[in-house]
Every structure is written in structure tokens, then in C-alpha cells.
Amino acid sequence: MQLKVVKFGGSSLADAEHFKMVKEIVTAEEGRRYVIPSAPGKRFAEDTKVTDMLYKCYELAKKGENIESYFNLIKERYNLIIDGLGLDFDLSDEFVKIKNAFIHHAGKDYIASRGEYLSGLVLANYLGFDFIDASDVIYFTDNGSFDADRTNELLGEILKNHKYAVIPGFYGSMPNGTIKTFSRGGSDITGSIVARAAEADLYENWTDVSGFMMADPRIIKDPKPIDVVTYRELRELSYMGAGVLHEDSIFPVRFAGIPINIKNTNDRTAPGTMIVPETDVYDTDRVITGIAGKKGFSVISIEKDMMNAEVGFCRKVLGVLEELGICFEHLPSGIDTMCVIVNSADIAEYHDRLLNKICAAVNPDTISIEDGMALVAVVGRAMVKNHGTAAKVFRAVAKADVNIRMIDQGSSEFNIILGVNESDFETTLNAIYNEFVK
């Protein structure tokens, strides 16, 4: 029997009907032993996710406003689910505790985590599984980063005592016992952590789409699905904006070599996307696995004659970024030029300070910051073996009359990054997609 950890996203737990589907999925296989729920998501387009309702309620309480009526809406979401499932189960005591927490200005993370916590209580009751509070098994360190070693060791031990259990996603606890959440969408990370600790054969991540698409369907019409993708490819694609899975959720399972299967709760028979450690198999018609991209980058361009001979030039420039706590994305350079690509949002407050500090550090001939760049990543493990892929990418972009402002291809050869004007972003993605996918 294969041991599976199954995570269900908010859309898979939005209402009682979805809880019923979840039960059918979980009980269809004996090996689906550990279940990670999100908080209930949207039931229809204009609906609000429970997590967002909790954040809103937190803001109201912070401003000293009366939260009664808004808090009742949150209670109602859960009560509708409990009634719809016909459970003899009641969350009244929990609601009292949470309401008190609002009134006493409990931390934002604690408040946000209650969405998953309550979801977990209901689901455990409905499935007849044990409930393990994530705050007892997922640990953060004092500086707020996830404590992978401690969690893996202790969670692994605890799971041995529970054949079937529900563990809420999204949160854990700090060394002092307070609750801390991962970033938004973080239940994916919890699923991955539990899969590693349980030494699972597979991490199934159930959502509302049948896996990853080769490109963003909001930009490319009906993109083809990706059947198989490696962790490395996925990391590149999700970093560059391909949604579906939280980008940090790859690390725990990747570490343990456990594959992830993205599945659709509303279309159970669809195979979804398999994310695997390594594979030589690829679709010979396509060569590329996917295309993703993001707008909102800025280019810091620095020129100085004889820069190439000035030892430590790059280090000094990057030292300024480090001092201001700014990460950089890419670093294309020429003989006497150096460009640093950064997230525009990260430098918004620092424009002038950044320029002044770099000038003081390296005394350049010219320096400028230009906003409005979009990055596009063309990713494919098969690119290593297929000559001419880069030429094909550039031909497609040239045919679409788009000017490429930056090119970056790492030595791993499975990723080509292009920088284009934001206004050319959609055209670029379409041109590349249509060149490779017939």
C-alpha cells in the first residue's frame, strides 16, 4: 500500500458539497492517511475566502470597531458546512475563544491560522480521523524561519502514533508557543513537510485545476497541460509566477525525493501533473516544458571605463544592495557595463539612496534606474539535448517585433530568461508559446 499525504486547497473545502467530495477521495484509498486542509475558499467568484475574512476582522478589531456582525459571517461559513454534512458536532467553544482573541488583540498570525484550524477540526470529525494541531508539530525558529530539522524529527515520531490524521495547513508555532503562519497559500508547504516526515510515497495536492498548464491561461488561450515536470523546472516556473503551488512547498519533498501529484478535486479522473525528482522523458514535439513570466522589474545600469580591470567592482555594488536589504534577480554584464535587475517594489522607497550609495561606492561614469521591465522564463529539461532552442525562442520574439532588453541563460541550460518592456509581455509569451506548441 502506498502511503499518501493529501492536501486540499480552499476551493476543495469551500462548502459541504466539497467536503463530501474530499471524503470520497480520501476514503477511496486506504493509503491516503494524512490529510492537510486549507481554510474554506471561495464558493463563487465574488465570495470571500475565510482567511481573508479573518484578516478583515482582525483589522476591524484593531481599529476598535465592533466585530460582532462580521465575525458571525465567519461562524456561518463553518456552521453551514457542519449542517450540510449532518454532523453532530459543534464549534461554539472554539468560536468563543477566537472572538475573545480578537477582542484581546491576539496576533495577526494566530487569527489567520484559525481558518485552517477550524477546517481541520470539522474534517477530522467528518472523516473519523485523529486531529493533530499544527502548532504541536510544525516549528519555527526564533528568527521566524521554518525549523525543518526539529519539525521533521518530532513530527515523524508523532505520526507513528496516528494511523489516520488531519493536520491543518498554513501554521505552526514559535519557540515561545505563539502561532506563526507561512506566507499566503502556505498549506502547500505544510503538506510537503508532512509528506517528508511521514516518508510518504506520494504527496497529492488537490486543487481546482487539473495540474499545471504550459503557460498562464489568462494570457495564452487554452494552454496545454504539463504531464510531468521536474522539481527544478517547477521551481523556475513557480518563481516566475506560475501559480497552483506555493513555491516554497517544493523543498521538503524534494529533499526526500517524494513526487507531488497535482490533482483536481472536481475532475478526479484527470491525471493532473506529476512533479518528479528527475526524468529523461519529455514530449519530443515540444522541447519546452513551460513558459512563465512577471512584470514589475527595474534595471540598474552602471557604466564605467575599465570596469573590467577594477577588482571588487561588482562586490561593492552588490554590497550596497545587501546593506539596503534588496535581493537581485539577474546580473547581466559587459566589459565596462553592469546591470542589476531587481524587483521594482523592493527599491521603490530607495531610488535616490540607492543611486547615491552606489555612486559613493564605485564612482561610475553613468548610472540609471529604469522601471517597466518584464521577465519571461522559458523552461525545459529537454533544452539541454535539443540544439537550436534558444534560436527558436529569439526568432519567435523577433517575428513578433519585440525588442529583447536582456538575456540570461544559466549553465544548467534548462532555462532561458528574457527581459522585455512590460508593454510587450503578453505578445512575447504568445509568440514563444505558438512557436513551440503546435
Q: Which residues bind ligand ASP (CB under 6 A)?
A: 10, 38-39, 49, 51, 115, 169-170, 184-188
203, three cell numbers? 504527496
Q: Which three cell numbers stand for residue 404?
A: 529583447
> Which residues is 375 bridged to in the sheet?
294, 419
Minimum CB–partner distance for residue 97 and ligand ASP (Å): 19
Closest distance of CB 67 from ligand ASP, Å: 19
User: Please, what is the minimum distance in Å from the beta carbon of residue 213 to ligand ASP?
Assistant: 20
DSSP of 198-241: TT-SEEEEEESSSS-BSS-TTTSSSPPBPSEEEHHHHHHHHHTT
Q: Output helix, strand, coil percentages for the chain, rounded to the nearest 5.
A: 40, 20, 35
Separation between Cα atoms, residue 56 and residue 417, nearest integer Å: 38
Closer to ligand ASP by Cβ: residue 132 or 189: 189
Decide whether 245 or 307 has the Cβ nearer to ligand ASP.
Answer: 245
C-beta of 37 vs 259, nearer to ligand ASP: 37
Kindly tell me which of 49 and 405 has the beta carbon lying closer to ligand ASP.
49
170 versus 231: smaller Cβ distance to ligand ASP: 170
* Cβ nearer to ligand ASP, comparing 48 with 333: 48
H or E stretch covering 394: helix 389-399
Whole-angstrom distance, CA of residue 17 vs CA of residue 26: 14
Please report how close the Cβ of residue 397 comes to ligand ASP at its closest, in angstroms: 35
CA–CA distance, 403 with 421 (Å, rounded to integer): 8
Of 9 and 380, which CB lies nearer to ligand ASP in the complex structure?
9
> Residue 421, Cβ neighbours under 10 Å: how many?
17
The sheet carrying 404-409 orders its strands as: 337-343, 290-303, 366-379, 415-421, 404-409
Shortest distance, position 119 Cβ to ligand ASP, whole Å? 9
Which CB, 115 or 223, lies closer to ligand ASP? 115
Q: For the packed helices 68-84 and 16-27, what is the interaxial angle rounded to 10 degrees?
A: 50
Contacts 24+ apart (CB under 8 A), 277-284: 277/230, 277/231, 278/230, 279/228, 279/230, 279/381, 281/228, 282/228, 282/380, 282/381, 282/382, 283/227, 283/382, 284/382
Query: Cell triple for residue 113?
Result: 491560522
Smaller CB separation from ligand ASP, 112 or 354: 112
Q: Measured from the CB of residue 127, what is the shortest distance to ligand ASP in angstroms?
A: 19
Residue 75 CB, nearest approach to ligand ASP (Å): 17
Q: Which residues contact 12 (CB under 8 A, 6 or more apart)?
A: 18, 21, 22, 38, 41, 206, 207, 208, 265
Q: How far is the CB of 304 from ligand ASP (least distance, A)?
A: 45
CB of 428 to ligand ASP, least distance (A): 30
CB of 206 to ligand ASP, least distance (A): 12
| Closest distance to ligand ASP from the beta carbon of 38 (Å) | 3
How does 158-191 read in b/e, with b if 16+ C-beta sit within 10 Å?
ebeebebbbbbbbbbbbeeeebbbbeebbbbbbb
Nearest approach, Cβ of residue 10 and ligand ASP (Å): 5
113 or 298, CB closer to ligand ASP?
Answer: 113
The three cell numbers locating residue 333: 554584464
* Cβ distance to ligand ASP smaller for residue 112 or 228: 112
Residue whose Cβ sits closest to ligand ASP = 187
Nearer to ligand ASP, 12 or 289 (CB): 12
DSSP E strand boundaries for 265-364: 273-276, 290-303, 337-343
Residue 259's Cα: distance from chain center in Å?
17
CA 285/CA 257 separation, integer angstroms: 28
